[in-house]
Amino acid sequence: QILARCAAADAGLDAVSEDFDRLRALERNAPEALAAVETTYATLTGRVSAAEAAVAGMRERYGDGAAAPVAGDVEQAEDRLAFAASALEQARP
What DSSP string runs through 31-89? HHHHHHHHHHHHHHHHHHHHHHHHHHHHHHHH-HHHHGGGTTHHHHHHHHHHHHHHHHH
The pLDDT value given to residue 12: 92
The pLDDT value given to residue 92: 87
Mean pLDDT, range 74-86, rounded to an integer: 96
**pLDDT bracket for residue 1 (50, 70, 90):** confident
Q: Ramachandran region of residue 63, left (φ > 0), alpha (ψ -120 to 50) or beta?
A: left
Look up the pTM and report it.
Answer: 0.68
| Domain count for the chain | 1
Q: What count of Cα atoms within 13 Å lies in the side-chain half-sphere of residue 19?
A: 5
Segments forming the whole domain that contains residue 47:
2-91
For 16-72, the pLDDT digits (tens) are 999 989 889 988 888 998 999 999 999 999 999 999 999 999 999 999 999 999 989
